[in-house]
Structure 1
Amino acid sequence: MAAGNFTLPPGQVHPYYPVEAHIVGYLANKWNTLQLVSMFAAGCAAIFGVTLVVVRKIRPTLSNGDLATIMWFVLCGCIHSFFEGYFAYNFRTMGSMQDLFGQLWKEYSLSDSRYLTQDAFVLCMETVTAAFWGPLSFVTAALIAYDHPVRYSLQLIVSLGQFYGDVLYYATSMFDHYILNVTYSRPEPAYYWGYFVLMNAFWIVIPGWLMIQSVNATWSAFSAVNDAHRLLERVGRANGKKVN
């Protein structure tokens, strides 16, 4: 179902929840859900394909794990910078937007209408994401591709930012739902569990894993340095020399 295919009760001008939400200039989508989801999936596939070709030329011997991480960060960079950046730039008129990104946001908003009502939290959260985590995702992908030693530090920073933003996103919606009794998602399970829960869970699970990986890599590096320093100290003491 697209945002324009619902049978609305008399007096209700849009299909979003809460039904009394004010959406400036609302226009129903021209494309249906299948068309929009297919175009989004095709865009992701194209990003993965181009990334694969470029990375294989840069480092043919790159491990599959690092390749998957690069593809993740390139996808994040595109979504954060362009898709979420689009929202941050057009947040005042999202209800009337009829281009691809606008209709995708209106489709997603069936699970969270805050994106169409100029909500302060989602605007600030998406603006920070677009301005910082988008560009830094591209930088992180490049650092991994070139095996730069700063890779794990930046990977940890970006992943923590994504994780923190997503936790707040879930938490603010749950607070409004359970404490204030305000629901932003339509009652159909596909919107809540498919769009709101599942689609955002990627930015909990994957950044969580990447943070653990970064901490382990940093731990191992510093442990090796400390072990080497202690070995030099023992050798120095045996030779009667002081090691700084």
Structure 2
Amino acid sequence: MASIVHQLNSSLAPTNMITNHSYYPLEVEIAHLIANEYSVPMLLSMFAGLCGLILFGTVSIVDRVHPRLPAREKAAIWWLVLSGAIHLFFEGYFSLNHTRMGPAQDLFGQLWKEYAFSDSRYLTSDPFVLCMETVTAFTWGPLCFVVALFVATSHPLRHPLQIIVCVGQIYGLILYYATSMFDHFYTGVTYSRPEFLYFWVYYFFMNFIWMVFPGMLLVSSVRKIAKAFQALEKLESKATNGKAKNGHAKRS
């Protein structure tokens, strides 16, 4: 019986675990790791090109369908569509393929392996990163497209839903930073290489974008809702005062 259990555990255990790599921590084991085929400039250029195509297509469609939309609203749609596409397709790719990131040689797989120099948790199926990216991809991703549509059509649910999406994005980013920094300062485990490109550009800046733009949209929605309630309270106050005056006049 013991031999059967041992064989079963052996068959379920990961094989070909690689430790001879440049990811941090250097001793972390990565299953079936294969070096990227594309160079870094090529990978970054292709990713930038894809983002540019999404933005160009969105700008063209919005200008054609809603030419009179204010520039600020158009910019919100551009961001929401780009953000939704990155969430759903790029981060969704990681969520669905996290167990085979090491040997992946398709574009998204190589992009994730390049990004993993700033956070090796993406190559080890880290539970927090996997759960966070799954929620981001399949909740905030589709909702970004919904909010973009609501912006274009001036839907009354635009601002409540925009607040939900922005808070979700910011909350996920805070936890992402916090869990990594906690391990760095309290357990001594560092997931990012120290080079400027990996820590400050990949890890900090490329993620901090989801603090800036969602933060701006969040502030805008809160102000809009606050103004709407303020206007509503004024109307209710006038209506109450009017009824009180009419009642007083009738009694007189």
- The two structures have a TM-score, normalised by structure 1, of 0.92
Matched with 1:179 is 186
Report the residue type matching 2:53 in the other structure.
Answer: A
SS in 2 for 1:14: coil
Q: Give runs of aligned pairs for residues 58-137 of structure 1, distance below 5 A.
A: 58-137=65-144
The Cα shift of 1:188 comes to: 1.1
Matched with 2:11 is none
Match of 2:211 among 191, 197, 204: 204
Partner Cα separation in structure 1 for residue 132 and residue 21 of structure 2: 25
Q: Is the 8 A contact 1:17 1:113 kept in 2?
A: yes
The Cα shift of 1:240 comes to: 1.9
Q: Is 1:231 aligned to residue 238 of structure 2?
A: yes
SS in 2 for 1:55: helix
SS in 1 for 2:105: coil
Report the residue type matching 2:205 in the other structure.
Answer: L
Partner Cα separation in structure 1 for residue 48 and residue 196 of structure 2: 21
Partner Cα separation in structure 1 for residue 19 and residue 162 of structure 2: 46
The Cα shift of 1:59 comes to: 1.3
Partner Cα separation in structure 2 for residue 143 and residue 12 of structure 1: 48
Q: Is the 8 A contact 1:58 1:145 kept in 2?
A: no
Q: Is 1:195 aligned to residue 198 of structure 2?
A: no
The Cα shift of 1:205 comes to: 1.5
Q: Deviations over 1:202-236 (max 9, x none)?
A: 11121122111111100000110110111111122
Structure having the higher Rg = 2
In the comparison of the two structures, how many residue pairs are matched? 231
SS in 2 for 1:129: helix
Report the residue type matching 1:63 in the other structure.
Answer: P
Matched with 1:19 is 26
Partner Cα separation in structure 1 for residue 22 and residue 73 of structure 2: 42
Which stretches in structure 2 are left out of the alignment for 5+ residues? 1-17
Match of 2:168 among 146, 149, 161: 161
Partner Cα separation in structure 2 for residue 239 and residue 188 of structure 1: 74
SS in 2 for 1:240: helix
Which stretch of structure 1 is more off in the superposition, 138-147 or 204-213? 204-213
The Cα shift of 1:239 comes to: 1.8
The Cα shift of 1:57 comes to: 2.3
SS in 1 for 2:102: helix
Q: Deviations over 1:38-91 (max 9, x none)?
A: 111111111111111111222111111111111111011101110000000000
The Cα shift of 1:12 comes to: 5.3
Which stretches in structure 1 are left out of the alignment for 5+ residues? 1-10
The structure whose residues are more often helix, as a share, is 2
User: RMSD value over aligned CA atoms?
Assistant: 1.2
The Cα shift of 1:187 comes to: 2.1
The Cα shift of 1:14 comes to: 1.6
The percent of aligned pairs where both chains have the same amino acid is 51
Q: Is 1:220 aligned to residue 238 of structure 2?
A: no
Partner Cα separation in structure 1 for residue 29 and residue 86 of structure 2: 27
